[in-house]
A and B are shown apart, each in its own frame.
Chain A
Amino acid sequence: MSIPLIYNVRSVRQRWTSGIVAVLGIAGAVGVFVAMLSMARGFKATLVASGSPGNAIVLRAGAASEMISIITVNDVQAIQNAPGIERGEGGPRVSPEVVVIAAFPLKKTGTDANVQVRGVSPRVLEIRDRVRITQGRMFGAGLNELIAGRNVAGTYAGLDLGSSVKFGGGTWTVVGIFDAGGSAFDSELWCDALVLNQVYKRPQNVFQSMTVHLTSEAGFPAFKDALTSDPRLSVQAERERDYYEKNSRALTTMITVLGTLVAFVMGIGAVFGALNTMYSAVSERTREIGTMRALGFGGGSVVTSFVFESVFIAGLGGLVGCAAVLPINGWTTGTINFETFSHLAFAFRVTPGLMGIGIVFALMMGLIGGLPPAIRAVRRPVAAALREL
């Protein structure tokens, strides 16, 4: 026969001070865990969102990132004739790109941070079709004009629409603001690649990467094979998504490892707290337990009952912890991405899945914190327990 669950709920209410302590202890661990993971998720999501499923990026063979890759204009000619590339009215949908870094003062702290400046083809909006100009207009081909990602204008001083800035030996005008749907491009400045090469006194006709829009996602293997089998080319092609996913890996791993470690240690602390609470609950109720045993409740059902009580407390803690971190969902923060050496804004993402993991983590703490005291509860002989004060 099992003990009614309402017995446990009532007894938690009876000793609510200890109960609250245990709940808060577990809530703290769960909250930190979910918050750290939501940061890692947000960072990763921002980079992964930068890749469109139908796009591929071409780099020099062996180059891990755009920063260290070279694509010459001859490569560009050869690549744009490869099969699988979508063709519009103005020719193949490709964007040979150049990336440089320029330092601008952060609004918040006044210190400089690196912004990635991407020289693109004037037709880039046909290739990155999720990017929209929200204010102003697109830059003009061959002009010293910039369009700024929506996070750039908010994060850096002096990059608002219409303002002019000096960097790299040229004066630029910000003529538009674009929205790239929460991806890494939102933290970038875009301009004409040819102008950027000129202003930075880089060799003309040398690019760093080339992004191509494919007719279909399934066309990627054929496109890739065509490039690798072309004897004129020494390049590699990747799906844009894979490229950005790889770029996010180092930082995501760091946050996840640190976050899990912190949560794990906090979890141990919370389990100690829960054990203390449950041990004192058991010892305060020795007589009660003896009475239940005398009434005929078996050892198994007493253990189940106490474990349930602990899991119930932990579950409450998990809910409180998740609820407490829910408001950070959508908070925007920024960090330097060491893969590109530039500043990247991203938002925390508290997803239902993540909260689910948090609750499971809480329930596990409850189980570990409740089992030993529950076993102790039934170990005492009934007669001795009843004699207790």
Chain B
Amino acid sequence: MKFLALILANLKRKKVRTALTIGSFASALFLFGLLIATRNAFTGGVEVAGADRLIVINRVSLIQPLPIAYRDRILQVPRVTAVTFASWFGGVYQDERNFFPQFAIDPATWRAMYPEFLVADAEWDEFMKDRQAAIAGESTAKRFGWKVGDRIPIRGTYLPGVWEFNLRGIYRGSRPEDDTTQFWLRRDYLEENGPAWFKGLVGWYVVKVANPDDAPGVIAAIDERFANSPWETKTETEKSFATAFVKQIGNIEFLILSIGAVVFFTLLLVTGNTMAIAVRERTSELAVLKTVGFGDTLVLWLVLGESLFLAFIGGTLGVLAAKAVAPHLSSFMYGANVFLPASNLALGIVLALIAGALAAALPALSAMRLKVVEALRRV
């Protein structure tokens, strides 16, 4: 640690170069942060999926409805502890670009099914009292500047007309990766005021099982119960439902990994080159250090330390900038929940340090192996 001052002094000699190298690290890690946040936006649903929840949809496809009468029949399946249901509202707020998911939910059972979404008791009570009520997720409310008490007009797409809702509450997620872009309205309100063909049908059911290990048995039991009916079902765990959805979007992992690899490789080259130049310029100086008694390993660490220091500063700046920018990407990505948890930030900084160490490895080794006599003889 006492050599930190020496490392800093060396970095201060060429301020422009130091700043540029920090900039390289910062831009690479900024990108890393954005890429990870993009990935999170698409795959976040998989990681937060409840292990004890199942999704029941129409066998034909997600957009085909199921009859509301299935609720009681699903509840009769052994090991099922709770059932709730919802329908897709799919409306447009002001402009078609302002996309966010709107669910018409069953007020009586929804909250107990999703304990990870936190709503204040008072707000929930208001929601229960008012048929035209709605609750918005924190990030959607923030995006449009909504406050509790606002009246929000939403134009239906498959349901005709403009629907107005009273915002009675705002829900938060208990974890950073929880999706807080949803907008909940009351299904009973749609049932009353919607067109005739909408009545008696729901979009999907969510089923809670007593124990995650019961899931395979319950899945088979539900699908068997409705087999050969006009409305056959397909039941899946929430996780496999989310996974299948992500797979449809495409091979995001591959895209992110390949861009990430190019960025990382470029970063290695750039910093490796900079460190090599720094060592080459200082050959005679390093020789002097060795002459006055600095050990080979210590010289190695001086060079490595310089690079690691740059990597740490640049990496930290980069991931913090990414964290600040990430939420703003949401509006380009169908309103997805773009987030960057602390573990990802830490991973980014570790990656930066690895890049710093790798980049400085060769120059540091050559500094270590430097023969004093030869080095001093050079110019």
Contact = CB atoms under 8 A, between A and B. Distances in A.
A24 B332 contact: no
Interface in B21-36: 21, 23-24, 27-28, 30-31, 34-35
Contacts of B248: 106, 111, 113-114, 335-336, 343
Contacts of B317: none
Interface string A79-106: 0000000000000000000001111001
B244 to A, nearest CB: 4
Contacts of B262: 28, 31-32, 266
B230 interface: yes
B157 A64 contact: yes
Interface in B18-55: 20-21, 23-24, 27-28, 30-31, 34-35, 38
Contact of B244 (A17, A113, A275): A113
B266 A266 contact: yes
B180 interface: no
A266 B277 CA distance: 22
Contact size range, B: 35 or more
A270 interface: yes
Contacts of B358: none
B334 A100 contact: no
Interface stretch (A132-140, A276-284, A350-358): A276-284
Interface string A1-22: 0000000000000000110110
B259 A101 contact: no
B269 A276 contact: no
B59 to A, nearest CB: 8
B250 A265 contact: no
Interface centre among A21, A167, A253 (most CB of B within 10 A): A21
Interface centre among A63, A106, A113, A265 (most CB of B within 10 A): A265
Nearest to A18: B273
B347 interface: no
A112 interface: yes
A296 interface: no
B28 A250 contact: no
A169 interface: yes
Contacts of A29: 266
Nearest to A65: B157
Contact of B34 (A25, A106, A261, A335): A261
A167 B60 contact: yes
B140 interface: no
Interface string B259-291: 100110111011011101100000000000000
Contacts of B230: 169, 201
A254 B61 contact: no
A141 interface: no
Contact of A168 (B60, B251, B333): B60
Contact of A269 (B34, B38, B266, B332): B266
A333 interface: yes
Contacts of A389: 379
A54 B299 CA distance: 75
Nearest to A341: B63
Interface in A196-240: 200-201
Interface residues of A, number: 56
Contacts of A276: 17, 20-21, 24, 270, 273-274, 277
B16 interface: yes
B12 interface: no
A337 B153 CA distance: 26
B121 interface: no
A375 interface: no
B106 to A, nearest CB: 23
B5 interface: no
Nearest to B228: A169
B337 to A, nearest CB: 15
Given A253-B332, A273-B24, A273-B270, A111 B259 contact: no
A292 interface: no
B62 interface: yes
The 10 A-B residue pairs with the shortest CB-CB distance, nearest first, are A273-B270, A269-B27, A335-B250, A111-B244, A28-B266, A21-B273, A336-B248, A101-B61, A68-B158, A272-B23
20 contacts: A21-B270, A24-B265, A28-B262, A28-B263, A28-B266, A32-B259, A64-B157, A67-B158, A100-B64, A102-B61, A111-B247, A253-B332, A254-B332, A258-B333, A265-B34, A266-B266, A269-B267, A272-B27, A273-B20, A276-B24
Interface of B: 16-17, 20-21, 23-24, 27-28, 30-31, 34-35, 38, 60-64, 90, 96-97, 99, 157-158, 230, 234, 240, 243-245, 247-251, 259, 262-263, 265-267, 269-270, 272-274, 276-277, 329, 332-334, 379
Interface of A: 17-18, 20-21, 24-25, 28-29, 31-32, 63-64, 67-68, 100-103, 106, 109, 111-114, 167-169, 200-201, 250, 253-254, 257-258, 261-262, 265-266, 268-270, 272-273, 275-277, 279-280, 333-336, 338, 341, 343, 389
Given A200-B60, A266-B266, 12 more contacts: A24-B269, A28-B266, A169-B60, A250-B334, A254-B332, A258-B333, A265-B34, A268-B27, A269-B28, A272-B21, A276-B270, A335-B250
